[in-house]
Amino acid sequence: MDVIGNNIANVNTPGFKSSRVTFQEVFSQTLRGASSPSGQSQTERGGTNPMQVGLGVSIGSIDTIHTPGNLQPTSRPTDLAIEGNGFFVVRDGQTMAYTRVGNFSLDADGILVDSEGRKVMGWAADADGNLPANRGATNLEPLQVEIGEEMTAQPTTQMEWIKNLDAEAEVGFVKTASITVYDSLGKAHSIQVDFEKTGTNTWTWQASLPDGSTAGPGTITFNTDGRLDSVDADEFSFDPDGADTVTVTMDFSRLTQVAGSSTVESGPTDGWPAGTLESFSFDANGVITGFYSNGRIQILGQVAVAHFRNPSGLIKTGKNLYIESNNSGTADPGTAGTGGRGTIAPSALEMSSVDLAEEFTQMIITQRGFQANSRVITVSDEILQELVNLKR
């Protein structure tokens, strides 16, 4: 009844896992042992079974049932739920604990914590947004997301040209495209690049730079299948006021020359102005992605999910926390969606796995069982009383 009552009490506790009780006989008294058959002859006797009387009952086990609960959307960006197996890893001082409850938030230092301030563990990305190649228990650290964190300006050093130059254009045809590059101070500079057809499968490029000078011309040659053959110059430089020299290397490998409109334009570049972190989100793998005011999107870290060979062997410490035991196996932290670990559902919480109908059924069964056992005691007492009366 204690186990059933605790299950019912936690029917609305996020991440709670219900328990069950199994019973076993305490002892069996053998009144007569088993005997083997005397033989196969019709005149000989066969074997007999043992004669035993059970003497009571005891608790065999109290098992925690780690069936995943249903998910409830919350609209809070820091709420997380695990779909499948696995546990979040939290640290309280130097002690590691594990939980299914992901009602996390950010503290004053931007650390991701649970409702009682325990730090959520994972792996932080470097300044370029790269996560550690090896993500395991040895390099776990508290996750930090600082809203308002500054991203320094990055000067443009590389860019791509994409799409097409018209193979049917007349010699002397010019297609103009513009690109934006950034200097070391994050200032934007607009550069005009003219592509002029100079012959069969041959074009030149020339850039008009912010300081009034020009770069080029460089010759672009295409193969007969419209793919790039060669470029004799792919770089330009200029000196912006108060900033370092900007040198940009251009990649023409994705540029084609086939019959059709000239749609050439700039592709990805690696420069950006300074910005600040405005918001963040989690994905199904627990990766934290930051969104900056300069339009940049960068990975900030990843939440760890721990796997156990025997989750039922974990020790409950209260407050929806578990710790390792001798029979749970060692925690194996890793990335969500790998190694038997579940995926993460952002902006959701896992609800309790308690089934009220099942608990009330078990309550009735327990009550009826106790009443039946009580009746046995009453009847036995009446029989003994009758035996005493016979003697009188």
**Can you give the pTM of this predicted structure?**
0.79
Separation between Cα atoms, residue 331 and residue 99, nearest integer Å: 12
pLDDT, mean over the chain: 92
Separation between Cα atoms, residue 354 and residue 167, nearest integer Å: 69
Q: Tell me the CATH class for 158-269.
A: mainly beta
Q: Are 273 and 187 in contact (CB under 8 A)?
A: yes
Separation between Cα atoms, residue 237 and residue 248, nearest integer Å: 6
Span 291-340, pLDDT tens digits? 999 999 999 999 999 999 999 999 999 889 999 999 999 999 999 999 88
Average pLDDT over every residue of 179-189: 95
Q: Could you tell me the pLDDT band of residue 230, with boundaries at 50, 70 and 90?
A: very high
Q: What pLDDT does 135 receive?
A: 92
Q: Are 308 and 329 in contact (CB under 8 A)?
A: yes
Which tokens go with 128?
A: 């370029």
Strand partners, 263: none
Q: What pLDDT does 17 receive?
A: 92
* Domain boundaries, given as residue ranges, for the chain: 19-64, 71-150+277-350, 158-269
Residue 357 is which amino acid? A
Which residue stretches of the chain are H helix? Answer: 2-9, 356-391
Q: Could you tell me the pLDDT band of residue 44, with boundaries at 50, 70 and 90?
A: confident
Q: What is the dihedral of CA 63, 67, 70, 73, to 10 degrees?
A: 90
Measured at the CA of 75, the angle between CA 69 and CA 80, to 5 degrees, comes to 45
Q: Which of 218, 173, 216, 214 is nearest to 196 (CA)?
A: 173
Which tokens go with 357?
A: 């109908």
- Cα torsion angle, 335, 337, 342, 343, sign: positive
First to last CA, the chain: 43
Separation between Cα atoms, residue 168 and residue 391, nearest integer Å: 125
For residue 287, with 0-12 CB atoms within 10 Å meaning exposed, 13-18 middle and 19 or more buried, which class applies?
Answer: buried
Crossing angle of helices 356-391 and 2-9, in 10° steps, is 160
CA 97 to chain centre: 17
Average pLDDT over every residue of 168-197: 95
126 Cβ contact partners less than 8 Å away, ≥ 6 residues apart: none
Lowest mean pLDDT among 69-78, 299-308, 358-367, 379-388: 379-388
CA atoms within 13 A of residue 311's CA, in its CB half-sphere: 20
Residue pointed to by tokens 């919480």: 349
Q: What pLDDT does 392 receive?
A: 67
